[in-house]
Chains A and B, each alone.
Chain A
Amino acid sequence: MENTQQPIISIKNLRKNYGEKQILKGINLDVYPGQVIGYIGPNGAGKSTTVKILTGLISDFEGDVFMYDKNIKDDIISIKSQIGYVPENAEIYDVLTPLEYLDFIGKLYGMEEDAIAARATKLLTAFGIGANADQRMDTFSKGMRQKVLLISGIIHNPKIIILDEPLSGLDANAVIMVKELISLMAKEGKTIFYCSHMMDVVEKVSDRILLINNGEIVANGTFEELKAGGNQSLEKIFAKLTGKEEGNRDAADVLSALN
């Protein structure tokens, strides 16, 4: 289906090398407002590099990335203020309390102290860790840290949200809540860029799925479109397109090694 809207993110011939190694080999992509993009691929395929470029963490790349029609090389600061990012490796200043941490993050986005405090308290309560708002995070479980990380990615109410394995460490209830939250935010017109290895979740939350392998996009479409080839699950599609269809044979090899 052809989208008549203006793309909110437009990637043109994106390339990135690390020394001799080509990580991204010319990616082209348009993302529209209100879409949830599931971005999947095997380890080392180039997912994280793409995300780092979109969030301004990597600036030496070839090609162009436009957000709101602005080239991110021209004005990364104003673009960053419209993005929310939840990184895969849950780095956090854990000697701070959630409120202190969120106050810091909110201020970097230029929010007022009172507004940050009010929103942070509501969000912490909604995520079920309101009672821990004034405890230092070095005693927190992985799930609790992940919740704070998620809140820090949305506290400034961004229009584009980039989530890298956002469900890592969350309990079942929190997973349901975050999945629901993603759908609701998309309905509000926010654009979500969702990276994950959890195929079942990607399958459920994404409007459109992009599969990257060896630095190239090898599949781009809705789940329905992707499974037109006869595959019933995203896992199967993933295995087929990344050349690991023989997954069963690999497992058999492992088993035979034990005998």
Chain B
Amino acid sequence: MFNRYIINFVLLFKPIFKKFGVNPEQLRIILTIKMKMDDRRPNIYNQQRQKKKKEVNHASWLVMFFLGITGLFFAFLLASLKQPFLAHTVYFSAFMVMLAVTLISDFTNVLIDVRDNYIILPRPVSDTTFTVSRILHIGIHTAKMAFAISISGIIYSFIGEGIISGLVFIIEVLIATTLSIFFVNITYLIVLKITSPQRFKDFISYFQIFLSILIFAAYYTLPRLIESSILKGIDLTQARILTIVPSYWLAALHELVVNIKNTPFTTYIYAFLAIISPLVSLYLVVKVLAPGFNQKLSSISASGDDGIIISSEGKGASKGFMNSIAKKIAPHPLENAGFKITWLLSSRYRDFKVKVYPSFAYVPVYFVYFGFINKKGVSLSENWNNLLEGRMYILLMYLTSFVLTTVLQNISMTEKYKASWIFFTTPHNEPGRILAGMFKAIVIKYYLPCFIAIGAFSIFFWGPAVINDLILVFMVGTLYGLLVALFQVKGFPFSQPPNNQKGGKMFITFLIMAVPAALGFLHYWAAKWEIAIWIAAAIMTVITWVSFNYYRKESWENMELAD
């Protein structure tokens, strides 16, 4: 419905389109179908619906809704910061980052969609009509997102700061949107310059991961930051580096118009930069970046890769590293096979990485949330001192088990699960060996590096006395992982379709989680007795080893075969 209004609005400029040789009727048809497909396209905001295998119908409106909520947060920032210059700088920094990151992570696949070459181009559609439809499609999408993020800010500016401020705010939004598109262009170009077309798609996956982390971190930290005195105490005149940031120029433009009598000369310069920057960026995009960019884009299309060669692993030194570890850690042929296939595929299946990698950020974000900003009315330095004196490091160590369990819960799932037929047609009778190899690969590749990083951090700040805690936590974490593997992972690595979770697992999940929670609580309680922790670590090592050997004996009866 709304799409139709938008298209009707665009087609008000029909005479201009005709003048350029565009067929308006075909333009309407292409835009209609493209926007319909946008509404059905899976994205990071409708994952729950995808999990339930329900049809996605209003995806782009859902994106707008979530961006609108985010924009509301930004508007709170705008309202709560009493210095307008600071408020506008912070607001437009957030606006531009959000818009650019969403554009890259959510819309790049549309930009490099090669299907148009086979579906639209063989039909009687002129190149001009096709190109204009593409530009308009991207323009409409960007405008919808910019509108969603900024609407709360616009309303606040009009009501809270007056009509003039509101009007200037709209101009600021337009400039910020143009600059965001420019930054997206620059990002694409730089990435395409330093990487191959195949790796470009990989880069987009990492950007999606980054966006997930950003949203997750913002959810926990932004409300608290707004309340805190951290932002309120900032003096922009002291932060000279900010003068090179476009949002600072936008704030200067606002300051100039709203507070013209008391404006220093430098503000005029920055306001001028705000006005001139979108024009310069448009010129650079059209004249300098666009020609090479289109060539590069067609090379991505021509590569036609669906994301198989996306990692350097499997080549040279990396492969040697993996092989030598596999030889030492998993010498049994079946374990070795399970180890290597897990190691390699987990680096190469994009859907797995997009789902799992954001969880790696849970550890620092939760730690910052629980350790620092969760306590109201306490300054950051007081929080930090309290942290060093207490035993919060134990919580930090236990948080690392998120990494292990998230990887395990997703390790058997991929969209390309059908390739797993090989596990079922080869003559082996010890599926547990393959699973054991898989488990070892996950521990070595994901859990251990994370644990070493956290361990180094803990030893640095709390001293070597925490080594026994580290050993105990590692063993509890591994045991927790084994329980997850035993009760929740019933398939070979990458052998099940995504979200193949059967019902009734909630209770088991809860029970399994109770084990590390109880052990962690006991650990926290007993932490003052060093020797007790050493003894507990030794006992836990034995229990974990026994459990692992049990897991290694998993039989065919416990293996689930995908449809």
- Physical interaction between A and B: yes
Residue numbers of A with Cβ under 8 A of B are: 55-57, 77-78, 80-81, 83, 85, 87, 89, 91-93, 95-96, 100, 104-105, 107-110, 136
Question: Residue B528 at the A interface, CB < 8 A?
Answer: no
Distance between A241 CB and nearest chain B CB, rounded to angstroms: 29
Question: Residue B328 at the A interface, CB < 8 A?
Answer: no
Known: A91-B119, A95-B40, A136-B55. A104 touches B126 (CB 8 A): no
Within 8 A of A (CB), among B11-39: 25-26, 29-30, 33, 36-37
Question: Residue B294 at the A interface, CB < 8 A?
Answer: no
Chain B 26-65 against A: per-residue CB contact (8 Å), 1 yes, 0 no? 1001100100110011000000000000011000000000
Name the A residues within 8 Å of B120 (CB-CB). 108
Distance between B521 CB and nearest chain A CB, rounded to angstroms: 47
B124:A108 contact, CB within 8 angstroms: yes
Number of interface residues of B (CB under 8 A): 24
Distance between B297 CB and nearest chain A CB, rounded to angstroms: 16
Distance between B201 CB and nearest chain A CB, rounded to angstroms: 17
B29:A107 contact, CB within 8 angstroms: yes
Distance between A89 CB and nearest chain B CB, rounded to angstroms: 7
A44 to B285, CA, bound (A): 37
Contact of A80 among B30, B115, B118, B122 (CB under 8 A): B122
Contact of A83 among B29, B33, B36, B122 (CB under 8 A): B122
Distance between A146 CB and nearest chain B CB, rounded to angstroms: 13
Name the A residues within 8 Å of B126 (CB-CB). 77
Name the A residues within 8 Å of B56 (CB-CB). 95
B124:A109 contact, CB within 8 angstroms: yes
A105 to B123, CA, bound (A): 8
**23 examples of A-B residue contacts, CB within 8 angstroms:** A56-B121, A77-B125, A80-B123, A80-B125, A81-B123, A81-B124, A87-B118, A87-B122, A89-B118, A92-B115, A93-B33, A93-B37, A93-B119, A95-B37, A95-B40, A96-B36, A96-B37, A96-B40, A104-B29, A104-B33, A108-B125, A109-B124, A136-B40
A92 to B119, CA, bound (A): 7
Q: Which residue of B lies closest to A87 (CB)?
A: B118
Distance between A150 CB and nearest chain B CB, rounded to angstroms: 14
Name the B residues within 8 Å of A96 (CB-CB). 33, 36-37, 40
Name the B residues within 8 Å of A89 (CB-CB). 118, 304
Distance between A54 CB and nearest chain B CB, rounded to angstroms: 10
Residue numbers of B with Cβ under 8 A of A are: 25-26, 29-30, 33, 36-37, 40-41, 55-56, 114-115, 117-126, 304
Known: A107-B29, A109-B124. A100 touches B36 (CB 8 A): yes
Distance between A73 CB and nearest chain B CB, rounded to angstroms: 13
Distance between B112 CB and nearest chain A CB, rounded to angstroms: 13
Name the A residues within 8 Å of B26 (CB-CB). 107-108
B121:A91 contact, CB within 8 angstroms: no
**Can you add 8 more A-B contacts, CB < 8 Å, to A89-B304, A136-B40?**
A77-B124, A80-B122, A83-B122, A95-B37, A107-B25, A108-B26, A108-B29, A108-B123
Name the A residues within 8 Å of B123 (CB-CB). 80-81, 105, 108-109
B33:A95 contact, CB within 8 angstroms: no
A83 to B118, CA, bound (A): 14
A110:B118 contact, CB within 8 angstroms: no
A138 to B33, CA, bound (A): 16
B114:A78 contact, CB within 8 angstroms: no
B29:A91 contact, CB within 8 angstroms: no
Name the A residues within 8 Å of B41 (CB-CB). 95
Distance between A138 CB and nearest chain B CB, rounded to angstroms: 9
A92 to B55, CA, bound (A): 18
Which 8 interchain pairs have the tightest Cβ spacing? Answer: A95-B40, A81-B124, A80-B124, A108-B123, A91-B118, A91-B115, A85-B122, A55-B122
Known: A56-B122, A100-B36. A93 touches B115 (CB 8 A): yes
A92 to B26, CA, bound (A): 18
Distance between A120 CB and nearest chain B CB, rounded to angstroms: 15
Distance between A59 CB and nearest chain B CB, rounded to angstroms: 9
Name the B residues within 8 Å of A93 (CB-CB). 33, 37, 115, 119
Name the B residues within 8 Å of A55 (CB-CB). 122
A109 to B125, CA, bound (A): 8
